[in-house]
């Protein structure tokens, strides 16, 4: 199997750093599987062709076909509890023996229990649930609910956001990779505004606090001017990662209430404890009308996502808003239930907060003297290091970030580069502190080698 070690955002498949990395691994097993992968799969940005292979995944580790091991600080945000958690694997095997599938028109105990658990876990009146097989579908369901509940079709979302690869999710998303190649129009009525901590904000035109709240006011400006927006949909914390400025989400929540728009928060990469709270929006003192979950919900084993909505938004009974074949699959539901139990029983939310604070402090100390580090930011175990040409100008340095990435990969650490030049580090919540410290040391050494 291949992934999640993939080339970095904006990286050329023939870049010097990539060629150097490929030259390090001349073994036949790796070359052969990579060639078969390139021949068999449709190619697309960010995931193909791959830079290596995987033969084993366990805990925080992935291992390729030649036996090389890497700490995985990317994992497509699915590995909150690590890979192959023994308790999860046992629960899935047991469920396969008991009940392996449930047609959608029938219900089963485990699916109902998962829906009840998510409804009890979410704050406020978020208590009505629908399951999908992926986060993109969950966001599409949320948008359908918003249309049905408000009688409107327009949305407000943010440039640079990612909400999935479907046509609806791409329409409200703001990443060029998922929009620019599509011939013809996307969904009508998808309005976009600048995200908090956009380029102007990040580089001092003006300061982040003022600009961040100005972006919140732009949301209200569009809501007021359009007058008929169904929903604002956004990531509560940008997974690049960028933390919202204080007061941002309170301002957006109030604007939605004033103008009759629903607030949909996409917690697919950030939810379930990754940021040091069960839901990232809890940091900001707001409760959305709908929250979407996915990725880590399946424990890094099975694909399952969820829409959790306010009780009074159960307004779609006369038509289909999802209708997924695996909507009430007992095996994926068991994986999700067990994942939630592991997060609770092992205290992983608090652990994420503690280890994340430790990581930010250590990176701040070790990289303080580097002229090529702009910002070090994040929440919990989702944090990043911005690589720049120089600290004053803070111009993104994609080539330097790429070289750092491959140095880290060679030292046994895999992660993602976001926005072209941000080293984005997202380890499992189960990571031992000594392994975390070792990984931080690898990053620091690679960055300082560029000085």
pLDDT tens digits for range 405-440: 999 999 999 999 998 899 999 999 999 999 999 999
Pair 344, 353: CB distance under 8 Å: no
CB atoms within 10 A of CB 103: 11
Q: What is residue 136's DSSP assignment? A: H
Whether residue 59 is predicted with pLDDT greater than 70 in this model: the reply is yes
Strand ranges across the sheet with 61-63: 56-58, 61-63, 69-72, 413-414
Whether residue 203 is predicted with pLDDT greater than 60 in this model: the reply is no
Residue located via tokens 């992926």: 134
Q: Which of 42-51, 271-280, 298-307 has the lowest mean pLDDT?
A: 42-51
Whether residue 206 is predicted with pLDDT greater than 50 in this model: the reply is no
- pLDDT-derived band at 2 (thresholds 50, 70, 90) equals very low
Average predicted confidence (pLDDT) for the chain: 90
Please state the rounded mean pLDDT for residues 138-157.
Answer: 97
Helix 398-410 crosses helix 433-448 at what angle (to 10 degrees)?
A: 130
| Short-list 268, 204, 212, CA closest to 239 | 268
| Short-list 172, 173, 176, CA closest to 189 | 172
| Short-list 68, 74, 59, CA closest to 21 | 68
State residue 22's pLDDT score: 66
| Short-list 173, 169, 123, 179, CA closest to 144 | 169
Which sign, positive or negative, has the C-alpha torsion 380, 384, 390, 392? Answer: negative
Distances (CA, A) of 332 to 82, 134, 238: 17, 11, 27
- Which domains are delineated in the chain? 1-22+72-81+347-451 (3.90.1150.10), 86-345 (3.40.640.10)
- pLDDT-derived band at 198 (thresholds 50, 70, 90) equals low
pLDDT tens digits for range 309-331: 999 999 999 999 988 999 999 99
Peptide bond into 241 cis (omega under 30): yes
Pair 392, 401: CB distance under 8 Å: no
* Angle subtended at Cα 434 by Cα 430 and Cα 440, rounded to the nearest 5 degrees: 95
Taking the C-alpha atoms of residue 296 and residue 340, their distance in angstroms, rounded to an integer, is: 10
State phi, psi for 307 to the nearest 5 degrees.
-110, 125
State residue 21's pLDDT score: 67
């Amino acid at each position: 199997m291949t992934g999640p070690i993939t080339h970095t955002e904006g990286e050329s498949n023939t870049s010097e750093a990539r060629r150097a990395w490929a030259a390090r691994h001349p073994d036949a097993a790796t070359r052969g599987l990579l060639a078969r992968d390139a021949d068999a799969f449709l190619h697309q940005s960010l995931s193909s062709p791959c830079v290596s292979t995987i033969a084993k995944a366990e805990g925080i580790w992935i291992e390729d076909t030649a036996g090389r091991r890497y700490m995985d600080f990317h994992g497509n945000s699915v590995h909150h509890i690590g890979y192959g958690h023994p308790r999860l694997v046992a629960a899935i095997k047991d469920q396969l023996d008991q009940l392996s599938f449930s047609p959608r028109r029938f219900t089963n105990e485990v699916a109902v229990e998962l829906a009840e658990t998510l409804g009890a876990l979410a704050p406020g009146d978020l208590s009505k649930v629908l399951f999908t097989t992926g986060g993109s579908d969950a966001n599409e369901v949320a948008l359908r609910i918003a249309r049905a509940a408000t009688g409107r079709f327009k949305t407000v979302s943010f440039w640079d956001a990612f909400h999935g690869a479907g046509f609806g999710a791409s329409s409200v998303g703001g990443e060029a990779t998922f929009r620019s190649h599509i011939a013809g129009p996307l969904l009508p009525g998808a309005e976009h505004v600048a995200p908090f901590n956009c380029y102007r904000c990040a580089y001092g035109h003006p300061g982040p606090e003022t600009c961040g709240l100005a972006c919140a006011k732009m949301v209200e400006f569009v809501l007021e001017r359009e007058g008929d927006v169904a929903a604002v949909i956004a990531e509560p914390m940008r997974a690049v990662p960028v933390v919202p400025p204080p007061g941002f989400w309170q301002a957006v929540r109030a604007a939605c209430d004033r103008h009759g728009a629903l607030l949909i928060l996409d917690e697919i990469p950030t939810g379930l404890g990754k940021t040091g709270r069960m839901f990232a929006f809890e940091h900001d003192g707001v409760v959305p009308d709908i929250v979407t979950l996915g990725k880590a919900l399946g424990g890094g084993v099975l694909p399952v996502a969820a829409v959790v909505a306010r009780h009074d938004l159960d307004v779609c009974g006369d038509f289909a808003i999802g209708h997924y074949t695996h909507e009430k699959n007992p095996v994926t539901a068991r994986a999700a239930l067990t994942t939630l139990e592991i997060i609770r029983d092992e205290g992983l939310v608090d652990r994420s907060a503690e280890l994340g604070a430790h990581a930010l402090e250590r990176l701040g100390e070790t990289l303080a003297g580097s002229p090529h580090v702009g910002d070090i930011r994040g929440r919990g175990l989702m944090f990043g290091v911005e690589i720049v040409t120089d600290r004053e100008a803070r111009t993104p340095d994609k080539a330097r970030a790429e070289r750092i990435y491959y140095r880290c990969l060679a030292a046994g650490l895999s992660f993602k580069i976001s926005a072209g030049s941000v080293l984005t580090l997202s380890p499992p919540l189960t990571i031992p502190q000594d392994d975390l410290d070792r990984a931080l040391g690898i990053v620091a050494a690679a960055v300082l080698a560029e000085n």
